[in-house]
Amino acid sequence: MFDFLFGVFSKDLAMDLGTANSLIYHKGKGIVLNEASVVAIDKSSNNVIAWGNDAKKMLGRANQDIRVIRPLKDGVIADFEITNKMMRKMIEAVYNRVHLINPRMIICVPAGITSVEKKAVIDAAEQSGARSCYLIEEPMAAAIGAGLPISEPIGNMVVDIGGGTTEVAVISLGGIAYSESVRVAGDELNESIMRYLRTEYNMLIGENLAENIKFAIGSAYKLEHEISYMVKGRNLTTGIPGSVELSSVEVRAAIIEPVNAIVDAIKRALDKTSPELIADIADHGIVLTGGGALLRNLDVLISRATGLNVIVADDPLTSVVKGTGWALEDMRTYQKVFVN
């Protein structure tokens, strides 16, 4: 029997355990934590010396005694032990104490993960101090957080572009009619920018700088006024620092392959969706969520590729954790969306 007492305890948490960022929603309080999914470990003691945004600042800057790790890859746990440490630090930060009170948790997961990967998430949550753990698929959480009418007999398409995966789903009557998880998202865009600079300018940069470039001048479709960014990195020929002025046109060319992979996933979803649901999507449009939705003119490119209206959700970065949190607030209503 489903545990209806879940909703009684104010200590319950909902978590968006993401490849790039992890967010926590506290029952009755809302979003209380938003940190990078990065951990810095002392190699000699194996203790956590920094986590979250503080650890992210160390990427590419750590000395030989420190290991900086992103423990999630492509939306799933790549390093169980470090994920466990990170989750424990996050939970401790929320309660401002070391001795945990064993919260119950809902965690969102990619739609395409395996039963083994689901078990890894549950085990990590329970070993991090959670009393019990429920899972919700990311596109469903994103749809709830974006305010879509998921329970009605209406087809809704949501595209959640995170750090490690892009989730494309068609939702109707409280369930997923079609979903596809492609392991192409924000991280792949960053890597494409790094490759472009290495190939075209013989310049080496780190992933944090690549991400900054993406946010500063990245776009999926031509801009009305093209812009540029001064990039500083290491020249691979001379080994000394160098700089280059990179244009938004170049960045757009650099990321075209992963962007097209996302567009192709959306086209496949439309091709495999029933005519009735397609008619609904034509009426209501495609909703974009996740950090990748903030890429300039991505909505324009998708609209031109599909002929459909494309809407970027309000505050797309928090749509998934909001949806997970709203499911936590009203588990009686949303109990059928949990996948374990």
Please write the tens of the pLDDT for every residue from 65-90. Answer: 999 999 999 889 999 999 999 999 99
Check whether residue 194 and residue 68 sit in a common domain: no
162 and 65 both lie in a single domain: no
Q: What is the pLDDT of residue 1?
A: 46
Residues 168 and 295 occupy one common structural domain: yes
The total number of structural domains that make up the chain: 3
One domain, residues 198 and 78: no
Rounded to the nearest 5 degrees, what angle is found at the Cα of 253, between the Cα atoms of 252 and 257?
Answer: 100
Alpha-carbon distance of 196 to 82, in angstroms, equals 31
Q: Are residues 52 and 161 in the same domain?
A: no
Query: Where is the domain boundary, 256, 287, 303?
Result: 256
Average pLDDT, the chain: 93
- 3-state DSSP call for residue 114? coil
Res. 134: pLDDT tops 60: yes
Give me the mean pLDDT over the 247-270 stretch: 98
Question: Please, which residues bridge with residue 133 across strands?
Answer: 105
CB atoms within 10 A of CB 45: 9
**pLDDT score of 100:** 54
Q: How far apart are CA 73 and CA 163, in angstroms?
A: 9
CATH number of the domain to which 169 belongs: 3.30.420.40
| Residue 204 and residue 180 share a domain | no
Confidence at residue 14, expressed as pLDDT on a 0 to 100 scale: 97
Would you call 96 exposed, middle or buried from its count of C-beta atoms within 10 A (0-12, 13-18, 19+)? Answer: exposed
- 171 and 298: one domain? yes
Q: Count of CB atoms within 10 A of residue 23's CB?
A: 24
23-53 tens-digit pLDDT: 999 999 999 999 999 999 999 999 999 999 9
CA–CA distance, 3 with 6 (Å, rounded to integer): 6
- Same domain, yes or no: 122 and 98: yes
Q: What confidence tier does 169 reach under pLDDT thresholds 50, 70, 90?
A: very high
pLDDT range class, residue 101, cuts 50, 70, 90? low
Say whether both 156 and 80 belong to one domain. Answer: no
The token pair that represents 240 in the structure block: 């000394």
Q: Mark whether 73 and 190 lie in a shared domain.
A: no
Final residue of a domain: which of 210, 229, 256?
256
- One-letter amino acid at 96 equals N
The pair of three-digit structure tokens given for residue 64, joined into one six-digit string: 């030989």
Joined tokens for residue 197: 């600079």
Rounded to an integer, what distance in angstroms lies between the CA atom of residue 107 and that of residue 122? 8
Would the pLDDT of 7 be above 90?
no
Residue 45 and residue 9 share a domain? yes
Q: Three-class SS string for the chain?
A: CCCHHHHHCCCCEEEEECCCEEEEEECCCEEEEEEECCEEEECCCCCEEEECHHHHCCCCCCCCCEEEECCEECCEECCHHHHHHHHHHHHHHHHCCCCCCCCEEEEEECCCCCHHHHHHHHHHHHHCCCCEEEEEEHHHHHHHHCCCCCCCCCCEEEEEECCCCEEEEEEECCEEEEEEEECCCHHHHHHHHHHHHHHHHCEECCHHHHHHHHHHHCECCCCCCCCEEEEEEEECCCCCEEEEEEEHHHHHHHCHHHHHHHHHHHHHHHHCCCHHHHHHHHHHCEEEECHHHHCECHHHHHHHHHCCCEEECCCHHHHHHHHHHHHHHCHHHHHHHECC
Query: Which of 212, 235, 256 is the last residue before a domain boundary?
Result: 256
For 271, the domain range is 148-184+259-316
Same domain, 28 and 171: no
